[in-house]
Amino acid sequence: MRITFIGGGNMADALIGGLLRKDFPLQDIRVVEISAEARRKLVDKYGVTSFDKPKDAVRANDVVVFAVKPQHLREAAAKSGIADNANLVISVAAGVRLANLSKWLKGHTRLVRAMPNTPAMIGEGVAGLFPFSKAVTRED
């Protein structure tokens, strides 16, 4: 399984750090971030592969994590290139309904909302998960 993060800020940083602490393979983590400085920070810190455009990074069967601020989610979704249910999509953007994200992704239904709490930023927290539809399976 490969995970592509769209957004390379604090939340992506925390999630990537947690994955790597649990021995998730570095080569299976990709980050899309429009800010060259934020990309460089994550590459220097973790050695992840980074991109400035989602269409260059997202592949079929990737898990895609939208780790952008809520006010940027619509634009990020529109530019993501995700148009079918080949990808499991996880959003950590608070306050944005999954129904809206589905619409912005042209009807995509393999969506999960993840709401990590503050201690998750240091690897000590929990996250609530909510699937959007039955297209999300237990295996996902």
pLDDT digits (tens, 9 = 90+) for 2-51: 999 999 999 899 899 989 988 999 999 999 999 999 999 999 999 999 99
Q: What is the pLDDT of residue 91?
A: 95
C-alpha–C-alpha distance, residues 8 and 83, integer Å: 22
The model carries a pTM of 0.90
Looking at the domain that runs over 3-131, which CATH code has it been given? Answer: 3.40.50.720
Q: Measuring CA to CA, how many Å separate 93 from each of 6, 27, 98, 106, 115?
A: 11, 25, 10, 18, 8
> For the chain, what are the domain ranges?
3-131
- The more confidently predicted of residues 75 and 85 is 75
Strand pairing report for 111-116 and 127-131? antiparallel
Q: Which pLDDT belongs to residue 110?
A: 92
Confidence of residue 138 (pLDDT cuts 50, 70, 90): confident
Question: What local confidence, expressed as pLDDT, does residue 120 receive?
Answer: 67
Cβ count within 10 A of residue 101: 21
Average pLDDT over residues 96-109: 93
CA 53: distance to chain centroid?
A: 14
Distance of CA 97 to the CA centre of its chain: 16
Report, as an integer, the average pLDDT of 103-132: 82
pLDDT for the residue 75: 95
Return the sign of the alpha-carbon dihedral for residues 129, 134, 138, 140. negative
Neighbours of 104 (CB within 10 A): 18
Residue 83: pLDDT over 70: no
